[in-house]
Structure 1
Amino acid sequence: MDSWQTGRFLYLALLAGALLLWLFVENRDSLGTKMKQMAAWVLIFLGVIAAIGLWSDIRQTVQPRQAIFEDQNRIELPLQADGHYYVTLGINGVNTRFVVDTGASGIVLTGDDARRVGINEADLAFYSQAMTANGAVRTAPVRLEQMTLGPITDRNVQAFVNAGEMDTSLLGMSYLQRFSRIEIANGRLVLER
């Protein structure tokens, strides 16, 4: 805990102490009832804090995930709450999350994802450009040794590393066109090869 957090904690503790002191002084005649009410509010507060702390676990349980049907070479991706389809691919053996972007012509990795999959940043040459909704961004062409999606493996796949800020890597048409069937229906994106 740094000094800023310590100061904030002490301020909140002092404020809570002052409020409790005021509560006891103002309501000394009905102190038993007030203690019950305060205990109920403390339990509500702790419940909210627990729900916030466990939200990532709850979301992983409730949120629909990609389904892989190996015997059919089919992958089904559920539509997420933000209106996008996401897919997790193995890039050089590292699970990497992509947003499916039919408006992107290629596969574009964020700088962080590129480092995670073993691309040396010093070897990148940002001499190409990509046009985005926010304007031109510099990109560096790379070759991905292996891309795996369920039972499907592709080798020596061309991709780009984005020099700009990007939250999630993009899976564009250069990869999607490798599938014999792409269908969007009933909140699911189906990929078959």
Structure 2
Amino acid sequence: MTGDDTMQLVYYGALLLVIGGAMVFELAGRGGRVLRQLILWVVIFAGATLAANWWIEGDAPVQQVLESGRIEIPVGRDGHFHLTATVNGQEVRFMVDTGASSIALGPADARRVGLDPDDLAYVGTAMTANGRVETAPVTIDRIEIGDIVDRNVRAFVIAADLDGSLLGMSYLRTFARVSFEGDLLILER
């Protein structure tokens, strides 16, 4: 059990205790009016927090990798397409960005896949939605999406806080077909 699992278990236990306590007070007809209202507001707040947590982190759609070399990526709640790939043995969640010319790793993802952003040569620049940023060219040893494996893939590390990493056109061009079918982005080799 991870630390996150333990915290969720504690949270749900406390929520159950509060709701159960509110029901006991209400059904027993005891407790002052102020106390009942206070408990009611705590229950409302806990329910709103639970709903927000479900909405933000809940069952986000996930990609399907089929044996035929076809990847189906459903549109996310944010309106973007997100793809999870294994990069140098570590899972990285990319936003598929047809406006990006190449793969752009954020500093946190770069560290996780074995690239030290502090030791890179930031010799290039790129224009992003947040303005101009410095870039460092790198080579990713291995990218895996299901059975699809690519080696020695050129990418860039961005010298700015990026909320994730971008999967741009240089990688998308390695697929024979990139298309949309309703709310699915289809990549085929």
Q: TM-score, normalised by structure 2?
A: 0.75
8 Å contact kept, 2:175–2:188: yes
**Map of 1:178 onto structure 2:** 174
1:121 is the counterpart of 2:117: yes
Deviation at 1:166, TM superposition (A): 1.3
Deviation at 1:139, TM superposition (A): 0.2
Runs of 4+ in 1 over 4 A off after TM superposition: 53-61
CA distance in 1, matches of 2:56, 2:100: 28
From 140, 146, 151, the counterpart of 2:147: 151
AA matched with 1:141: P
CA distance in 1, matches of 2:74, 2:50: 25
**Map of 1:163 onto structure 2:** 159
Q: Which runs of 5+ in 1 are unaligned?
A: 1-31
Q: Which runs of 5+ in 2 are unaligned?
A: 1-28
Deviation at 1:80, TM superposition (A): 1.2
8 Å contact kept, 2:60–2:77: no
CA distance in 1, matches of 2:147, 2:51: 33
For each residue in 1:25-56, what CA deviation from the matched residue of structure 2 results, as whole angstroms up to 9, or x when unmatched? Answer: xxxxxxx5873784376156236425625854
From 65, 87, 91, the counterpart of 1:91: 87
Larger Rg: 1
1:77 is the counterpart of 2:73: yes
CA distance in 2, matches of 1:109, 1:77: 20
> Aligned residues: percent identity?
43
AA matched with 1:123: D
Query: How has the CA–CA distance of structure 1 residues 73 and 51 changed in structure 2, closer, same or farther, with 3 Å as cutoff?
Result: farther
Alignment of structure 1 residues 1-193 onto 2, 5 Å: 35=32, 38-39=35-36, 42-43=39-40, 45-46=42-43, 48-49=45-46, 52-53=49-50, 56=53, 62-69=59-66, 71-193=67-189
CA RMSD of aligned residues (A): 2.4
Query: How has the CA–CA distance of structure 1 residues 145 and 56 changed in structure 2, closer, same or farther, with 3 Å as cutoff?
Result: farther
